[in-house]
Amino acid sequence: MTESSSVLSPGSLAGKTALVTGSSRGIGADTVRYLAEAGANVVVNFRNKAPRAEKLATQLRELGVRVLVVGADLTDADSVQAMFDEVKSEFGGLDVLVLNASGGMEAGMAEDYALQLNRDAQVRVLETARPLLSSGARVVFVTSHQAHFIRTTETMPEYEQVALSKRAGEDALRDRIPALSEAGIDFVTVSGDMIEGTITATLLERANPGAIASRRDSAGKLYNVAEFAAEVALAVVDPIPEDNTRLVGDTTSFVGE
């Protein structure tokens, strides 16, 4: 976790409320810290890392913002509804929703777990949050180049099912852009290359030793967790790019549609 970062202008999110899914660690934790440093009240969401989430919340409260910590299984509709009921009770509404949580390479999960989490749960979270999002709000979906470009560029076999499920989630969310736009709600996808230090990168390296070094050599540089989280945080405030897509890092190895 980085110290005071000034990724966003201090006070630029004062009075706003932001929820980042999967924000007890990794990219989500750094993202929620950057938003809090900019003055946003934040919701730290976790699945099973309560002590870590509470420790982060304590740090963020020292910035003078309000912090709500809510555990939720995003694949469970009742759990998601309960989370947003707490958000409504605490803050009344939501200005920023960052869909960061994802997975699918974990051991011992159901065969369709990747699709449940990376597609169905993403849509569920957005739809459940919709009553709390008013005009001027923004939704940010976090994905990878390996998923964003999966229809035109092969990825390593160990990641293919996750990539396909994340692209399915992105497509399902993009289908909702017209309705979101009509309500004055912005949507942007942030797509990055493999990120050094993430759980996914660790699992890929375990399954395919040398994969990360190979990708780093090909791309010239891979972002680390803090660097990529900064891009996610900037996506909250920057103008929406063409095609609602913010591409982070090298894309020359990927073929666009």
pLDDT by residue for the chain (257 residues), tens digit each?
444 457 999 999 999 999 999 999 999 999 999 999 999 999 999 998 899 999 999 999 999 999 999 999 999 999 999 999 999 999 999 999 999 998 876 766 777 889 999 999 999 999 999 999 999 999 999 999 999 999 999 988 888 999 999 999 999 999 999 999 999 999 999 999 877 767 677 777 777 787 777 777 777 777 888 999 999 999 999 999 989 999 998 898 898 87
Are 136 and 184 spatial neighbours (Cβ–Cβ below 8 Å)?
A: yes
C-alpha span between 149 and 126 (Å, rounded): 23
Look at residue 195 in the predicted model and tell me its pLDDT.
79
Look at residue 194 in the predicted model and tell me its pLDDT.
79
Look at residue 3 in the predicted model and tell me its pLDDT.
47
Exposure string for 43-67, b = 16+ CB within 10 A, e = fewer = bbbbbebeeebebbbeebeebebeb
User: What pTM, to 2 d.p., does this model score?
Assistant: 0.92
Look at residue 199 in the predicted model and tell me its pLDDT.
66
Look at residue 19 in the predicted model and tell me its pLDDT.
98
What is the set of domains in the chain, with CATH numbers?
A: 17-248 (3.40.50.720)
H or E element: which one contains 73? Answer: none
